[in-house]
Structure 1
């Protein structure tokens, strides 16, 4: 924590210098209090609900000139009370959130390199995961074309990850030095993203390859290919996406699908969105082929219900899901009340302990979120969600479906600009 204080002081001093560029110093303080009683998976009478407050605190330094942009951001994540009030040292969670530089070859071509958010479209495949207090970051290089006149963008991303299990300089030449042992992360990544927009439509294409380290020192390659887009049709906004995964994971080949479609109707009172999304599961997890789709680097909290029963952490495994949903919002008390209703079915055939096929219906989730802007640009959220689970959900997840399964939370976000220099 001391390092952040020292660096913050230095950054503030630097902003007093007259430079031919724009320097901005900003901050974010975001505490969120949660009551969890069936969040992510079913609870039962043997478990007590959880009540806690987790806080994210960030400091941003942005530098922009005609030729370059640079961002350095520090953050601290902690649960209230986890550290003593009086201490000389602690197991801190303060670290660099972002640290990247972007060099402009000209107004439309640039190179961006460093620790950064990689987020596109509805964040289904690549997202910043900013709902989570820690967020998601990549150490990568991006080659970017962004033509404002023709509303066209093309990004190519590259990454090669290595860990520091052997200290320098022996690490560079030690036996097994190229073995990557950070669980859940890719060893290599390459992707291309293309986007074309007009006044009423948008279309994005993505092709991504990820290399994962195997225990036998080989590397498995998995590819994700697909598109997402939307267009206006007779006053109705039609959106959809389709992604296919192929390649290998260990000795198993991959063939998996995500597909969705939705329609939004404007009314005099509120917009109404109806949609369905299918994410394939695996009928036989022991077979030679993986048929369960994995949205590895998306912001999965934004999809398939806010209670995070699906694809947040290890949740849902190889089951898959068919999500039929209805979404709307209302202007209430100077803010917006958003309501989402999800009906969840399995995305594959599942059997119980007795070998009989389980019914596909897993449960219904209702999400309510009230959002209001307060004075000074402060943003307040208040949310409540409830899951009505079925026998199938209980068979797959355990717990007790007859117990109340709910989640309530409130979050306030302060995002002040502390200093902006004259350009």
Structure 2
């Protein structure tokens, strides 16, 4: 075929595809986020006479989105590393136990109806995706963590006339197989949910229903996650190697939120959730969370208000009979229980539950500069005992968090903070953090530079 025929064929193909391409949109965005941290007791009390830790971590992301008639496709690849963990001339090989290059998101969303003609939105979203609902207390992308969180799932989405209903499902497997569906739930790195839970669910299903009101929003969530059943060999006295079998233990979480504003100045948030079913070891569950907070706007710059979170705990009950420690699922605990991450994160804090009494203030010094100061008083619902039988105080400690956020441009933000924890003997006791020779004062500081450029390259 000569050049003229090639040119003619290319022209015909372009004419056929051009109308479709012209109605599509391609967006390219990215992120470089560095965070330098000075740790002296972050996550748990610092051991006396221990040196502080200082390091810089970096998240690097490249995102590409495609939108056309009744179709959206989005892909996000990221690399997470600590400065210096690679040799300067050799890139280390990423293993399953450490961070590195990974596919954060890759999903497609198909509109099942012509948008707006019948309902506002009725679509199917399938693939690796973030699940973020309401205030991200139970389902969130955990964006503070450099690796963040995502799920391999399918979500059917409905939106119309102020109503939102999402139905999601997921089914996990370790690899392609010729037979059986056993799944060991081993995560690729670290904890997969709050409370340091180190087993990924075998399957999950959820229903989220939200409603917009004149004063704010209300929502209902039903979430079920299933964990593979297992047992231990009689010779495995220390129970180190689980043997997985058919069937699952199912955990159920249901409850709702109410967010709103009264008289334009008083914002409020109410949450209540209950968990039942079985934990990943088969233990029966009877757990709850209740939360209430208000925020008063005193003019354009100041806002402040108190709040309380209460989560159930075992309180001396034998966990082998019934487990009562609430688990905030796959949320963003950094946002709620203090920025030093003492509670409901990887370090854990026992099984006695938590009462968090807090007071938050926010000051908008300029349009691009915001300061916040939060104070938390952490208390156990029931007293615990030391190894010598001595009953300890219910008070765990007091945390102060001071944060600033400065927006240089739409794409560039600076953020930093300083936190201090004044902990008690109870905090470091064996039933809570279990730290010997712990200091009663810990602090933590960070500076973060967030660069997120975005550009439409075809429209």
Normalised TM-score (structure 2): 0.83
Worse overlay, 300-309 or 259-268: 259-268
Higher deviation after alignment, 334-343 or 153-162: 334-343
Deviations 1:56-110 (A, max 9, x none): 0000000011211100111000000000011265337111110000000122110
Candidates 56, 59, 64, aligned match of 2:59: 56
Deviation sequence 1:338-378 (CA, Å, 0-9, x none):
11100000134422212233211100000011000013520
Q: Which moved more, 1:342-351 or 1:154-163?
A: 342-351
Q: Which residue of 2 is the match for residue 255 of structure 1?
A: 286
2:250 is paired with a residue of what secondary structure?
A: strand
Q: 101, 105, 108: which one pairs with 1:101?
A: 108
The alpha-carbon deviation at position 320 of structure 1 amounts to: 1.2
> 3-state SS of the aligned residue for 1:375?
coil
**Residue 185 of structure 2 is aligned with which of 178, 181, 184?**
181
Compared with structure 1, are the counterparts of its residues 88 and 344 closer, same or farther at alpha carbon in structure 2 (3 Å cutoff)? closer
Partners of 2:183 and 2:442 lie apart in 1 by 43
Alpha carbons 1:24, 1:420 under 8 Å: kept: yes
Q: 1:337 to 1:178 in 2, by over 3 A?
A: same
| Structure 2 segments unaligned to the other structure (5+ residues) | 1-19, 116-120, 187-197, 232-244
Whether the 8 Å CA contact 2:43–2:341 is kept in 1: the answer is yes
Per-residue deviation, 1:25: 0.8
User: Using the alignment, how far apart are the partners of 1:219 and 1:304 within structure 2?
Assistant: 31
Alignment-derived partner of residue 408 in structure 2: 374
Q: Sort the Cα spacing of 1:256 and 1:96 in 2 relative to 1 into closer, same or farther, 3 A.
A: same
Q: 2:73 pairs with 55, 60, 70, which one?
A: 70
Q: Does 1:298 align with 2:324?
A: no
1:196–1:204 CA contact under 8 A, matched in 2: yes
Tell me, what secondary structure is at the counterpart of 1:327?
Answer: strand
Q: Following the alignment from structure 1 to structure 2, what is the Cα–Cα distance between the partners of residues 161 and 220?
A: 15
CA 1:392/1:345 → structure 2, altered by over 3 Å: closer, same or farther?
A: same
Structure 2 vs 1, CA of residues 364 and 62 (structure 1 numbering), >3 Å: closer, same or farther?
A: same
**What is the alpha-carbon distance in structure 2 between the residues aligned to residue 99 and residue 384 of structure 1?**
35
Question: Relative to 1, partners in 2 of residues 1:304 and 1:89: Cα closer, same or farther, differing over 3 Å?
Answer: closer
Separation of aligned partners in 2, 1:89 and 1:346: 44
Quick check: 2:422–2:440 contact (8 Å CA) kept in 1?
Answer: no
Which of 199, 211, 227 is residue 212 of structure 1 equivalent to? 227
* 8 Å contact kept, 2:423–2:440: no
1:240-289 deviation per Cα after TM superposition (whole angstroms, max 9, x unaligned): 10000000123421000100111111213511121001011112354400
Structure 1 gaps, min length 5: 1-16
Q: Which residue of 2 aligns with 1:141?
A: 154
Normalization by structure 1: what TM-score? 0.90
1:270-281 mapped onto 2 (5 Å cutoff): 270-281=302-313
Determine if contact 1:243/1:257 at 8 Å carries over to the other structure: yes
Conserved? CA contact 1:280–1:348, under 8 Å: no
Q: Is the contact made by 1:42 and 1:401 (CA closer than 8 Å) also made in structure 2?
A: yes
